[in-house]
Structures are given as structure tokens and as C-alpha cells.
Amino acid sequence: MALVWGLEALRPRNDYDTASLPQWRWWVMPFFLWALWWPLTPGFPYHEMIGAASTTVAGQFEGLLYSPFGIMAGPLTLALLCLLALCREANRLLVTAFSILAILLTRFAEPMWWVSIPIYPIAAYCLAFWNVDVMVRARRARKSRGQNGETEG
């Protein structure tokens, strides 16, 4: 994940200009807001997740690593997927790799599996939307090239 985002940092291809997006594309926004809001849910049993030894300095490190906020593994990965779904143009390699890795991450790195449930539909949406979009454009380009060839011939 770091690698694909590092490549994006070196050669940025995502277009975050969301001003011209059609309204229906904003349907992921509730998931995005949920991803940001959820870890701050009051009354959540953080102490049970972090452990009884969390009052020590080591416990604070544990909270940093293994708390249900899951610094990157859980809700924030979902927020990033939502952001990719909101791009006007997206780096196809980044979207594809990140979506697949996000799903894999939920299997290996997220101790609370149910936290990851919203990641699956959003990752599937990102995969389908950007890849289908690219295929449709390629087909249109082939058609237009074919029509131009016919008119020229």
C-alpha cells in the first residue's frame, strides 16, 4: 500500500477536482464520514480493546498500534477508498492495487473483522467503476478510430 501511494506521490495521476462530479458520485460520502466519525464514538470500550495494561507507557504504544481506530488498517483505509471513488480521474494501478490490498488487509491486520464490512462494497465499487470506465472509454476510442478509418477509406 505504501508502495502504490509512494508511486502516486512521485507521479501523481489522481485528479481530485470534485467540483464537476455528477451528484450521484457522492453516494460514498456517508461511508467517508462514517470512517472519520466512528473511531471517536463515545462510550466505546477502548480499554477492553487495548487491555488492562494500557495505563502503562507500553499500553499507550499498544493503543497506538492495536486500538480499534486502527491507524491505517480499518476506517482510514475505507476513507481513502471513498476518496479514490470521488476522484474525477484516478490512477488505475493505484485504485486496483489499493482496493485488492485493502480487502487482503482486512483478513490479516484487522482484529475486529466487522469493522471491515463497509470496505468490501466500496473496494468492489472502486475496482468496478474505474476499470469498467477505462474499458468503456477504450471501446469508444476504438469505435471512433474505426469510424474515422471508414470515412477516410
Partner 1 sequence: MRPVTPALHVLWALVFALIFWKRNEARRVFAAIVAAGYVFHAAMPFAFVVWRMWAKTGGVVYTQDLGASRPSSTAAASARQCVC
5 neighbors 77 (Cβ within 8 angstroms)? no
Count of residues engaged in binding partner 1, rule: CB under 8 A: 46
Among 61, 83, 80, smallest CA distance to 72 is for: 80
Using CB under 8 A as the binding rule, whether residue 152 contacts partner 1 is answered as no
Smallest gap from Cβ 83 to partner 1, in A, equals 7
- Binding mask 100-139 toward partner 1 (x if CB under 8 A, else -) reads -----------xx---------------------------
Three-class SS state of 18? coil
Half-sphere exposure of 16 (CA within 13 A, CB side): 7
**Piece of the chain touching partner 1 by CB under 8 A; list 20-28, 62-70, 122-130, 138-146:** 62-70
Residues 143, 83: Cα–Cα separation, whole Å: 32
Question: Is 34 among the residues that bind partner 1 (CB under 8 A)?
Answer: no
